Amino acid sequence: MEVREVNIALITCTECGRVICKIPTNTIILILSLILTIQPVFSQDRKKPVTGKFSLMPKIGTDFTVGGTFGKAAKISDSLTIGSVSITAAISGGSQDFDDVYHSPVSTGLNLNYGLTDYTEVFIGLGYLKAESKEFDAAIFDVVGTFGSTTVSLSEPLTAEFDDYHETSLNVGIRHFFNRFQALSPFVSIEGGLKHTDKIELEWSVVGEAISDISFYEESWTPNFGMGVGFLLEIKDNIYFSAETGLHYDFNLNQDDTDWRGSDDYENINDAGERWSVPLMFSLRISL
């Protein structure tokens, strides 16, 4: 018979001294080693931003207009010349926001993120937004008048349509994470930058006659800023799904009055272009 010496830890009752459990010492050492090593490894795998590391976030989504004016309300009571066409009548029109004149936009982008700490990162993002135009009633003839060579009756609507909307943006921002070591991590963000908007022209038409290529907004570089909230959901190692919303503001576009003559009120119809919106973006985050 072979006899081995085994170190055993005894767990005893503090009142009577009775032995409750016998555990080999090497088993206790193994358990402590696992506790001390597994948690750091697990935590490292769960890190969203990692200090000094980069990640990419391609994204796609839309946004919803909640404020701002794309075209101001205006009226004329005598005459207005648009390009080479004269309008003689009393016309009044209400203001339009972005959703009145454009369909829901499609927004795409790409963010490059850099971890400042294990909770906070900075990012730079390129974005592109496109919205298709839609026809709308721009004004009403309040009395019988003329539109070019056409006689227009009372209450005849003046319909209009803009060029499609194209916007490219460059933003920088900062994002802060909560619940960093779990699969689902909420975050908040703030960002700001510049956007470039293509030239936008307008077409007016009434009873079969139209005026095309009316200047409205010239090519514009304007500032914007926004705040966001969202979450990251781990899919697999180094890949996450993200959803984000928030509140975004775009400043006025640059008006173009080249084709507007004869009515100060209507010349100011394009002294606008600012927009409040709520974005809804979805993305994948890939650690580099």
Q: Is 99 helix (H, G, I), strand (E, B) or coil?
A: helix
Supply the pLDDT for residue 65: 96
Supply the pLDDT for residue 38: 43
Candidates 155, 126, 139; CA nearest to 96 is: 139
Average confidence (pLDDT) over 183-191: 94
Q: What is the CATH number of the domain that holds 244?
A: 2.40.160.20
Residues 252 and 158 in one domain: yes
Supply the pLDDT for residue 8: 55
Q: Which domain holds residue 54?
A: 49-287
In angstroms, the Cα distances linking 256 to 42, 72, 96, 226 are 58, 14, 17, 27
Chain mean position to CA 135: 25
Supply the pLDDT for residue 12: 55
Average confidence (pLDDT) over 210-237: 93
pLDDT digits (tens, 9 = 90+) for 246-286: 999 999 999 998 888 766 566 688 899 999 999 999 999 99
Instruction: With a cut of 70, say whether residue 47 has pLDDT above it.
Output: no
pLDDT digits (tens, 9 = 90+) for 116-127: 998 999 999 999
Strands, sheet with 157-162, edge to edge from the N-terminal-most edge strand: 74-76, 91-93, 136-141, 157-162, 200-206, 209-217
Candidates 195, 188, 186, 171; CA nearest to 105 is: 195
Query: For residue 281, how many other CB atoms are within 10 A of its CB?
Result: 22
What is the b/e burial string over 135-157, where b = at least 16 CB atoms within 10 angstroms of the residue's CB? Answer: ebebbbbbeebebeeeebeeebb
Residues 138 and 4 in one domain: no
Residues 39 and 53 in one domain: no
Residues 5 and 134 in one domain: no
Contacts of 125 (CB under 8 A, 6+ apart): 109, 110, 111, 112, 169, 170, 171, 172, 173, 191, 193
In angstroms, the Cα distances linking 30 to 10, 11, 21, 189 are 17, 17, 17, 43
Supply the pLDDT for residue 6: 47
Mean pLDDT computed over every residue of the chain: 85
The H or E element that residue 35 is part of is helix 25-46
Supply the pLDDT for residue 103: 97
Average confidence (pLDDT) over 67-96: 84
The residue type found at 275 is R
The H or E element that residue 65 is part of is strand 54-67
More confident residue, 48 or 140: 140
Instruction: With a cut of 50, say whether residue 39 has pLDDT above it.
Output: no
Residues 271 and 136 in one domain: yes
The residue type found at 55 is S
Residues 36 and 148 in one domain: no
Residue 279 and residue 262: Cα distance in Å, rounded?
A: 39
Instruction: With a cut of 90, say whether residue 143 has pLDDT above it.
Output: no
Instruction: With a cut of 60, say whether residue 34 has pLDDT above it.
Output: no
The one-character DSSP state at 17 is: -
State the pairing for strand pair 79-82/260-261. Answer: antiparallel
Residues 122 and 2 in one domain: no
Average confidence (pLDDT) over 135-152: 87
Residues 73 and 126 in one domain: yes
pTM of the predicted model, to two decimals? Answer: 0.79
Band the pLDDT of 155: cuts 50, 70, 90: confident
When divided into structural domains, the chain yields a total of: 2
pLDDT digits (tens, 9 = 90+) for 82-118: 877 888 878 888 899 999 999 999 999 999 999 999 8
Residue 205 and residue 203: Cα distance in Å, rounded?
A: 7
Residues 177 and 237 in one domain: yes
Residues 231 and 89 in one domain: yes
Residues 165 and 121 in one domain: yes
- Within a 13 Å sphere around the CA of 60, how many CA atoms are in the beta-carbon half? 1
Residues 128 and 12 in one domain: no
